Amino acid sequence: MSVLVISPGRDPEAWVQELKNQHPGMQIFAYPEEHNKEDIEYAIAWKHPRGIFKNYPNLKVIASMGAGVDHITSDPEIPKNVTITRIIDDQLTLDMSAFVLALVMNHLRNLSFHHNHKSWEPTNYLKIEDQNIGVMGVGVLGSAVVKTLTNVGFKVSGWATQPKPQSDVTIFGKDQLDEFLGQTTIVVCLLPLTQQTENILNKELFKKLPKGAYIINVARGQHLVEHDLLEMVDTGHLSGASLDVFRKEPLPEEHPFWQHPKISITPHIASVTDPKKVVPQLVENYIRMTEGKPVKNIVKREKGY
Ligand code: GLV
């Protein structure tokens, strides 16, 4: 019974080392290291080569290295009997909340303006109390962001495609998107990427926001129709955007977002998994799997998250 760490384009060494430290007996292979496919029962994956897992007859669990699982669920060739898990981690959650708060405050206070313009003149700024932040996607990360922003004093609401348990803020349902958008001045996208949510940040949606609304995307690049955003910012309907994720990453040098004065770019850093922090939950699930117990943080495959 062996473990495969598979993350082309991302060095697996830190993961392998941490797994060895925290579970010395574990037999681990770092793809593309030579290994016997029949021995692999547990895979720890980030953007695996499409279709590869159908060749692993004894694979039981694929664990995502991150909170997102679209890089796994979007592969139609993953056998139906394989369980997919994701990471739920306090550090990831805290980092995401802090990052979104930083982006929101940067938008309100335009923090680099004085430095960029060598200006000592105070400028007008947007007030916390005038904002209605609308968080799209109120799962683990989204609900933590709602809480952080609420604690700072923002009016916050959420939009969820599935009914949510009791919340301190208004959570608009799937059919209340127009109502949600009509009162939102800053959109924060934290939706999982599924067939239903791909391209959701498009011109039709932007038009339903009040003039001057601002977009923050910290979910996935595929949520956003990039040319629709550019058009709506250039016509002045949207005041700008902060984007941490892109359809193509790294964002190509010639991409118009780099030059756009109203679009801020960060390189997919909102919350990055620290192998040291999350290997304990991967090891716990590995042990549960070997003991025939149900693993934790399971992704509902029919929903895609
Ligand atoms: C990062 O994007 C993740 O899904 O953890």
* CATH of residue 72: 3.40.50.720
Residue 290 has pLDDT above 90, yes or no: yes
Shared domain for 68 and 136, answered yes or no, is no
Atom of ligand 1 nearest to the CA of 92: 5
**CA of 138: how far to CAs of 161, 163, 189, 191, in Å?**
9, 10, 10, 8
105 with 160, same domain: the answer is yes
Residue 171 and residue 81 share a domain: no
- Whether residue 1 is predicted with pLDDT greater than 90 in this model: the reply is no
Exposed, middle or buried: residue 78 (CB in 10 Å: 0-12, 13-18, 19+)? buried
> Which three-class secondary structure state does DSSP give residue 75?
coil
Residue 111's pLDDT is what? 94
Number of domains in the chain: 2
pLDDT-derived band at 163, boundaries 50, 70, 90 = confident
The rounded distance, in Å, linking the Cα atoms of 223 and 199 is: 4
Q: What separation in Å is there between the alpha carbon of 82 and the centre of ligand 1? A: 21
Closest-lying ligand 1 atom to the alpha carbon of residue 273: 5
* Per-residue pLDDT band at 167 (split at 50, 70, 90): confident
The verdict on 54 and 168 lying in the same domain is no
Residue 157 domain flag: yes
Residue ranges making up the domain that contains 279: 2-89+273-290
Any atom of ligand 1 within 6 Å of the Cβ of 66: yes
Residue 201 lies in a domain: yes
Mean per-residue pLDDT over the chain, rounded: 97
Least trusted range by pLDDT, from 112-126, 155-169, 196-210, 291-305: 155-169
192 CB less than 6 Å from ligand 1? no
| Residue 268 alpha carbon, nearest atom of ligand 1 | 2
Q: Whose CA is nearest to atom 4 of ligand 1?
A: 68
> Are residue 61 and residue 118 in the same domain, yes or no?
no
Hey, whose CA ends up nearest to atom 2 of ligand 1? 68
Together in a domain, 41 and 175: no
Residues annotated as catalytic are: 220, 268
Q: Say whether both 147 and 229 belong to one domain.
A: yes
Q: How far is the CA of 124 from the centre of ligand 1 (A)?
A: 35
| 64 and 141 together in one domain | no
